[in-house]
Amino acid sequence: MDIGQVTADGCAVDVYLLLPPAGEPEIVHAAAGPGASVLELGCGAGRVTHPLRALGHEVVAVDDSAAMLAHVRAETVRARIGDLRLGREFDAVLLGSHLINTAHDRDRQAMLAAARAHLGPDGRLIVEWHPPAWFDSVADGQGGRLGEVDLKLTGVVREGDLLSATVRYSADGRHWDQEFTCRRIDLDAVLTSADLIFDGWLSADHTWFAARARRWG
Ligand SMILES: C[S@@+](CC[C@H](N)C(=O)[O-])C[C@H]1O[C@@H](n2cnc3c(N)ncnc32)[C@H](O)[C@@H]1O
């Protein structure tokens, strides 16, 4: 089966074109405030970008996949998040899609340093993560439906702080398998080492939170 274009981290572009937003734009809008400028890290095909713009936000959308960015209707920047230094500040920086749970500690540190470098004086970092409880509860067969896409998880394997699995996306008689590995993280330790401070939960299930830059002196 032709699965089309796939990003370096294994996301199929066609899947992200089919997936609708699932409440993310409203969470970001509520946390950032009306009219806030947003730097979106790992924007994909614009699933969250476009509703954010419709809600009145100026969005700069960053991804390292040209194939994803080709679908984004906003100012785009093709870059690795960890390397990003635009020399601009934003009211909000969005790090969604559990990117903070990367298995690679250095990537996480680089992403958070880049996010912090783009926060304005009162800027909020808005993060979607897998909280520790998710690592304990996730199991084969879990899934659901988003728009016209069925999702199903298989092959869950735990090894220390790491969890690996495959998510199968099915739609329109096609399917795409995406393997991933993610790391359970200690939020306090991660934020402290990035010179960030926790700034509240943004969802009742604690899968979204905000942080601010720690200011010294
Ligand atoms: C799971 S997709 C989510 C896309 C979008 N946030 C959404 O919710 O629809 C992750 C996206 O982040 C991008 N990405 C992952 N790691 C990245 C990195 N280190 N630098 C730049 N882009 C990255 C991938 O190319 C992909 O488009």
Strand partners, 93: 39, 125
Per the structure block, which two tokens stand in for 202? 């943004």
Query: Does 193 lie in the same domain as 117?
Result: yes
Is 3 a member of any domain? no
Confidence of residue 215 (pLDDT cuts 50, 70, 90): confident
Query: Does 86 lie in the same domain as 66?
Result: yes
Report the nearest atom of ligand 1 relative to the CA of 19. Answer: 9
Is 196 a member of any domain? yes
**Based on the structure, what is the number of domains in the chain?**
2
What are the backbone dihedrals phi and psi of residue 193, each rounded to the nearest 5 degrees, phi first? -70, -20
Buried b (16+ CB within 10 A) or exposed e, 186-208: ebeebbeebebeebeebeeeebb
Q: Is the pLDDT of residue 39 over 70?
A: yes
The answer to whether the CB of 45 falls within 8 A of the CB of 25 is no
Q: Per-residue pLDDT tens for 42-52?
A: 999 999 999 99
Q: What letter does residue 12 receive in the DSSP assignment? A: B
Judged on CB neighbours under 10 Å (0-12, 13-18, 19+), 72 is buried
Q: Is the pLDDT of residue 216 over 90?
A: no
Cα distances from 113 to residues 7, 81, 108, 116, 130, in angstroms, run 23, 10, 9, 5, 20
The CATH number of the domain holding residue 163 is 2.30.30
Query: Does 105 lie in the same domain as 22?
Result: yes
Pairwise CA distance, residues 107 & 21, whole Å: 26
What are the backbone dihedrals phi and psi of residue 140, each rounded to the nearest 5 degrees, phi first? -55, 140
Assign 3-state DSSP to the chain and report helix, strand, coil percentages, each to 5.
Answer: 25, 35, 35
Is 7 a member of any domain? no
Question: What whole-number percentage of the chain has pLDDT above 70?
Answer: 99
Is 18 a member of any domain? yes
Task: Measure 193 CA to ligand 1 centroid, in angstroms.
Answer: 23
Give the chain's mean pLDDT. 97
Please state whether beta strands 149-159 and 143-146 pair in parallel, antiparallel, or not at all (unpaired): antiparallel
Query: Does 155 lie in the same domain as 76?
Result: no
Query: Does 86 lie in the same domain as 144?
Result: no
Residue 19 has what pLDDT?
Answer: 97
Task: Measure 80 CA to ligand 1 centroid, in angstroms.
Answer: 10
Is 148 a member of any domain? yes
Q: Per-residue pLDDT tens for 51-71?
A: 999 999 999 999 999 999 999
Is 5 a member of any domain? no
Per the structure block, which two tokens stand in for 148? 């016209």
Residue 217 has what pLDDT?
Answer: 58
Query: Does 155 lie in the same domain as 95?
Result: no
Query: Does 113 lie in the same domain as 37?
Result: yes
Pairwise CA distance, residues 207 & 101, whole Å: 12
Residue 1 has what pLDDT?
Answer: 60
Q: Is the pLDDT of residue 2 over 90?
A: no
Answer yes or no: is the C-beta of 76 below 6 A from any ligand 1 atom: no
Query: Does 51 lie in the same domain as 143?
Result: no
Is 1 a member of any domain? no
pTM of the model: 0.97
Task: Measure 96 CA to ligand 1 centroid, in angstroms.
Answer: 8
Pocket mutation for ligand 1, best pick of 97, 129, 179 (most atoms within 8 Å of C-beta): 97
Q: Is the pLDDT of residue 153 over 70?
A: yes
Q: What range does the domain containing 39 cover?
A: 13-131+186-213
Is 2 a member of any domain? no
Q: Per-residue pLDDT tens for 154-205?
A: 999 999 999 999 999 999 999 999 999 999 999 999 999 999 999 999 999 9
Query: Does 196 lie in the same domain as 150?
Result: no
Question: What whole-number percentage of the chain has pLDDT above 90?
Answer: 96
Pairwise CA distance, residues 216 & 193, whole Å: 14
The CATH number of the domain holding residue 53 is 3.40.50.150
Tell me, what amino acid is at 204? Answer: A
